[in-house]
Amino acid sequence: MKALFSFILLLSITVTTAFAQNAPGEITTFILVRHAEKVDDSHDPDLSPEGYERAALLAKMLEIIQFDAAYSTPFIRTTETARTVAEKHKIDITEYDHRNPEELTSEWIEKHRGEYVLIAGHSNSTPTFANALLGREHFKEKFDESDYGNILIVTISGDGERHILHLRF
């Protein structure tokens, strides 16, 4: 089942990137995830054992992608979700403030032109950042607090054409 999902993820990224390549220029790909399951509801909890399993699965699924950058909010649960992916690709995790999505995503789009970027966030910030990257409202609500299985792939072509692929794992 995991191999099938990895194949579908690779196929989806390939199709999404190929679709975006109809426009001239480089393709920038942002992959947004919500942090994995947390151990409790305290202010800055670690991941639970299930959360570490999900983070490992995410890293395994995304190992075929050569990430250029990884971002995480300054919380243990988001940093730990992104850590295994970042370690596999030998990149540092840069902290970001999830309260200013429009300004920050504009900076990311300019800075990471033609690159693959991982962004680990929260149930409320991940859909908001996807909307900001898309330049339109795709998600009208935050993710449910009990839902940890979303992967959002936003591609931006050189001429600014933007697409989203919403996967579950």
**Range name among 22-26, 60-64, 67-71 with the lowest pLDDT average:** 22-26
Report the percent of the chain where pLDDT is more than 90: 84
- 97-106 as b/e: b if 16+ CB within 10 A: ebeebeebbe
**Which of 75, 70, 64, 89 minimizes the C-alpha distance to 36?**
75
Q: What's the domain count of the chain?
A: 1
Per-residue pLDDT, 13: 59
Residue 93 clears pLDDT 60, i.e. is over it: yes
CATH of the domain at 158: 3.40.50.1240
What are the pLDDT digits (tens) for 119-135? 999 999 999 999 999 99
What are the pLDDT digits (tens) for 22-40? 445 699 999 999 999 999 9
Residue 1 clears pLDDT 90, i.e. is over it: no
For the segment 90-107, the average pLDDT, to the nearest whole number, is 95
Per-residue pLDDT, 20: 44
Per-residue pLDDT, 21: 43
The Cα–Cα gap between 77 and 122 comes to 9
The Cα–Cα gap between 86 and 94 comes to 10
**Which of 125, 139, 127, 135 minimizes the C-alpha distance to 162?**
135
Residue-number span of the structural domain to which 124 is assigned = 2-168
